[in-house]
Amino acid sequence: MEFLTGKSLQRRTFVHGMGATVALPFLDAMVPSGLRGLRGLAAAGDRTRLVTIEMVHGDAGCNELGAKLNLWAPAATGSKFDLAPTSMVSLDKYRDYLTIISNTDVRNAEPTAPKEIGGDHFRSSAVYLTQAHPRQTEGSDIRAGVSLDQIYAKRFGQDTPIPSMQLCIEPVDQAGGCAYGYACVYTDSISWASPTEPLPIIRDPRVAFEKLFGVGGSPRERAQRRATRRSILDWVAGEMTSLKNTLGPEDKARLDSYLTDIREVERRIERTEARNSAGEIRELPGAPAGVPDAFADHVQMMFDLQALAFAADTTRVFSFKMGRDGSARTFPESGTDKPFHPASHHGGREGNVKDFHKINKYHTGMLPYFLDKLKNIQEGDSNMLDKTMILYGSPMADSNLHNHRRCPLIVIGHANGQLGGNQHIKAADGTPMANAMLTMMHKLGMNDINTFGDSTAPMTIGSHVSN
């Protein structure tokens, strides 16, 4: 094993074992001694963490009836909005971090030729973060655009061990055609490194865990380590003990909490694999052993991995695809057992719209778990949620009509002071969602970018003023 630092404890410090690499969270010991205790001191090389989340099929609040009932966008704009009727009711305790951007359109997800009509579900995901209209093809000549997350990763993620990671919940199959003349990769990917290069996406928490904590180890070493049934922390225990002996009480406690979180995620993955390999019939037949059958368990595990990665600055950029167009998955915990995609085709009937709303509310209700995790990570004189931008939205609005007008979009986090929170901004009719995306790019420090997709102008969104 090898413990690597420079002459002083660096922000990016790793402890290595066989097929295992554990990066350290931000510690006071990483701040030069003469600067410790100064208010406003940020972590060295501080950059906003970015999470882009897509939930497919739009929202019940995007059809005519749902809009009247305020099932997505609140009735009031500004800071006096009421979230109680909306799918975002679970976010009320985080309203100070919440920016709602309603009434924007994703017109590049609409058909531009008669032969594209009907293919909305099979091109929408490729539009979400690129705001570019995909080329209709089932062959290898795919084309969309460069996604927002990858533009940011290329600018500000190259000095991290992993520039970006792409995660998903539903199964993906990036080979061949799906329907209406579109390659499956369009509906399977939201991250595009170039207009012709969609990035691979990880569904199995074990694979994501190994990528985050197996950096520098060979596949053989990682396999050998797993075969011992020992935790990755066992392989670095000696070096961790030596390191702790040099730290102050607060740093020791912070490091212990971080290591406990790693071990807990590792145990949950191991328990999931053991249960799913026991030979019993699974709810998700064919899914990797590391994938929990329960939707909430899977989502939470993926959020845990993202929080750990941000704490250690292993990567600053995640894209997270929480659904797949056309999915017939059911979510009994939501209060309805209707399958997802059929429920989205509610016919505008009030009872059906409200059933779909239950699913939307359940999905959005996954977010506070992640927000709690981020807020509990202390870095410098603030928490990780203060330093993060989370985009959550859909490139579809009223899925019943395959409509892309007035799509749902929210942004959570203060993005290192760039977002004020507690604001509902209703865009003028016909405003492209690309305008909001362009604004977020500016908030992320990419002010030299003047256009994105079909944008017409950036939006005015207030910044955070700390007390």
Superfamily (CATH) of domain 46-203+293-467 = Alkaline Phosphatase, subunit A (3.40.720.10)
The helix or strand, by DSSP H or E, that contains position 430, with its residue range, turns out to be: strand 423-432
Dist CA 422 CA 98 (whole Å): 5
For helices 249-276 and 295-312, the axis angle rounded to 10 degrees is 150
**pLDDT tier at 213, thresholds 50, 70, 90:** confident
Residue-level pLDDT at 40: 44
Residue-level pLDDT at 180: 93
Q: Is a pLDDT exceeding 80 seen at residue 256?
A: yes
Q: Is a pLDDT exceeding 80 seen at residue 51?
A: yes
**pLDDT tier at 10, thresholds 50, 70, 90:** low
The helix or strand, by DSSP H or E, that contains position 186, with its residue range, turns out to be: helix 184-188
Residue-level pLDDT at 352: 98
For residue 425, give every residue at least 6 positions away whose Cβ sits within 8 Å of its Cβ, in sequence order, or none: 77, 99, 100, 101, 102, 459, 461
Q: Is a pLDDT exceeding 60 seen at residue 37?
A: no
Rg value, the chain, Cα: 22
Q: Is a pLDDT exceeding 60 seen at residue 34?
A: no
Q: Is a pLDDT exceeding 60 seen at residue 1?
A: no
Of residues 351 and 224, more confidently modeled: 351
Residue-level pLDDT at 225: 59
Q: Is a pLDDT exceeding 80 seen at residue 105?
A: yes
Dist CA 455 CA 440 (whole Å): 12
Q: Token match 């410790």: residue?
A: 36
Where is average pLDDT lowest: 224-233, 239-248, 383-392, 435-444? 224-233
Chain centroid to Cα 433, Å, comes to 18
Q: Is a pLDDT exceeding 50 seen at residue 5?
A: no
Dist CA 409 CA 72 (whole Å): 10
Residue-level pLDDT at 41: 45
**pLDDT tier at 229, thresholds 50, 70, 90:** low
pLDDT tens for each residue of 268-301 = 999 999 999 998 999 998 899 999 999 999 999 9
Tell me the pLDDT of the chain averaged across its residues. Answer: 89
pLDDT tens for each residue of 127-141 = 999 999 999 999 999
Residue-level pLDDT at 463: 81
Of residues 44 and 443, more confidently modeled: 443
Dist CA 347 CA 64 (whole Å): 11
Q: Is a pLDDT exceeding 50 seen at residue 38?
A: no
* Average pLDDT estimate for 334-363: 97
Q: Where are the domains of the chain?
A: 1-35+218-290, 46-203+293-467
Percentage above 90 pLDDT, the chain: 73
**pLDDT tier at 4, thresholds 50, 70, 90:** very low
Residue-level pLDDT at 233: 80
* Average pLDDT estimate for 114-131: 96
Residue-level pLDDT at 231: 77
Q: Is a pLDDT exceeding 50 seen at residue 214?
A: yes
Residue-level pLDDT at 277: 93
List C-alpha distances in Å: 342 to 62, 158, 193, 357.
16, 42, 33, 13
Phi/psi class of residue 325: alpha, beta or left (left: φ > 0; alpha: ψ in -120 to 50)? beta
Residue-level pLDDT at 44: 41
Of residues 241 and 364, more confidently modeled: 364
Handedness of CA 446, 450, 455, 459 (dihedral sign): positive
Q: Is a pLDDT exceeding 70 seen at residue 175?
A: no
**pLDDT tier at 230, thresholds 50, 70, 90:** low
pLDDT tens for each residue of 423-434 = 999 999 999 999
Q: Is a pLDDT exceeding 90 seen at residue 251?
A: no
Residue-level pLDDT at 172: 82
Nearest to 66, CA basis, from 55, 74, 54, 57: 74
**CA trace torsion 383, 435, 449, 201 (10° rounding):** 60
Q: Is a pLDDT exceeding 70 seen at residue 6?
A: no
Record the pTM.
0.92
Contact by Cβ (8 Å): 140, 111 = no
**pLDDT tier at 318, thresholds 50, 70, 90:** very high
